[in-house]
Amino acid sequence: MVNFMRDPAGDLPWEEDPAGSDVLHFADYTSFQRHLRKDMRPMLIMFYVPWCGFCKRLKPDYSKAATELNGKNYVIAAMDVERVENAPARRAYNITGFPTILYFERGQVKRTYEGENNKDGIVAFMQDPNAAPVQKEKESDWSADPNSEIVHLTNQGFEPALKDEKSVLVMFYAPWCGHCKRMKPEYEKAAVTMKERKIPGVLAALDATKEKEIADQFKVRGYPTLKYFVNGVFKFDVNVRDAAKIIEFMRDPKEPPPPPPPEKPWEDEEDTEVIFLNEDNFNTLLKRKKHSLVMFYAPWCGHCKKTKPEFSAAAEALKDDPRVVFAAVDCTKHQSLCQSHGVNGYPTIIYFSYLKTKADYSAGRSSKDFISYMTNPNLSATEPVYSKHKLDEL
């Protein structure tokens, strides 16, 4: 219910999904550490983030494996490392990609799981973790496909192949890249359609893992990357993935509009009455204010972005009241401060009075809602502040 109220339109949290009931979900890093000290059973744990596509695809098989192994002296576990309280796990195990799956024995990490990403592979691994992993089928060489209508480029042939062509779209790819694999049939389909309809232009591809010199020359940093050339001269990057869009572009190649400028950090906005807090000024400011409303947020959070202008408008409306302050904490910068106030979702909005009492704010998120609440806070819902910030005052 708590997760639903934080994000009503989001996916059902894994720990609330009945299909994943046999997966042990760690609520925080502390409980994970406690488990490692007390439970010596072999454990496989998947460190994931909710928005990860690969994680979402693996979850059903992972859950089925947990169900099949339930009661057989194994632990199949998971941890959402996007949550602030689980951030220490990312540092402790150097987690930089998702999902990361680690195998533990007697409370100690033994290895990274590299088996098949399906139920049978996970079950087989847990039953015999020392067995050699099943060799995955070798990826076929796209450039060796005799039926391909794509022009496959190399370091030596790149310039000669492009210099006499007036319109060439080049796909820089990596054989292991999932997005590239999904795009390949669309790219092939577009090439066949262009040939059938006599649409001018060439669709080409270059394996950036083999032809690194060319990839480096054109500053390829991710896959797939599409670049448009005229007579061998690079003109601009293109962001099209499906056949229809590729064909539409090649009919009338035009440079896409530039991307919007990066979003200005909220604390750098000049016309806001919101005060931005950190570990140094949190106590100092709040203990002097009778009514403080603090929004704990993350810059990338969609709900936070929607709330920001309403929160700022309320701060502007009540700026002349010396008893009132609207404040905000960026939890991506001040994790310990957010963790000390139990923040595990964004935005979390908390009311404080002189930093002696606090109450979770659960009313609406319009400026009128904020103003109404701060004009007449629900003090009956407050509770004493028991945190290190309170102790610092004593």
DSSP state of 379: G
Task: Note if 55 is an active site residue.
Answer: no
Instruction: State the catalytic residue, choosing from 55, 180, 331, 338.
Output: 180
Which is nearest to 282 in space by CA: 333, 327, 339, 321?
327
Long-range contacts of 263-266 (CB under 8 A, 24+ apart): 263/299, 265/299, 265/330, 266/297, 266/299, 266/308, 266/328, 266/330
Q: Are 171 and 179 in contact (CB under 8 A)?
A: no
Show the CA angle centred on residue 157, arms to residues 152 and 158, nearest 5°.
Answer: 75
State the Cα–Cα distance between residues 106 and 318, nearest whole angstrom.
Answer: 57
Instruction: State the catalytic residue, choosing from 55, 304, 331, 338.
Output: 304
Task: Note if 180 is an active site residue.
Answer: yes
DSSP state of 36: H
Which is nearest to 325 in space by CA: 339, 312, 343?
312
State the Cα–Cα distance between residues 14 and 83, nearest whole angstrom.
Answer: 13
CB-side exposure of 111: number of CA atoms within 13 Å?
10
If 0-12 CB within 10 Å is exposed, 13-18 middle and 19+ buried, where does residue 23 land? buried
According to DSSP, the residues that pair with 170 across neighbouring strands are: 204, 227
What one-letter code names the amino acid at 72? Answer: K
CB atoms within 10 A of CB 185: 11
State the Cα–Cα distance between residues 311 and 326, nearest whole angstrom.
Answer: 8
Q: Are 170 and 206 in contact (CB under 8 A)?
A: yes
Instruction: State the catalytic residue, choosing from 52, 55, 177, 331.
Output: 177
Backbone torsion region of residue 62, taken as left when φ is above 0, otherwise alpha when ψ lies between -120 and 50, otherwise beta = alpha
> Would you name the residues annotated as active-site residues?
177, 180, 301, 304
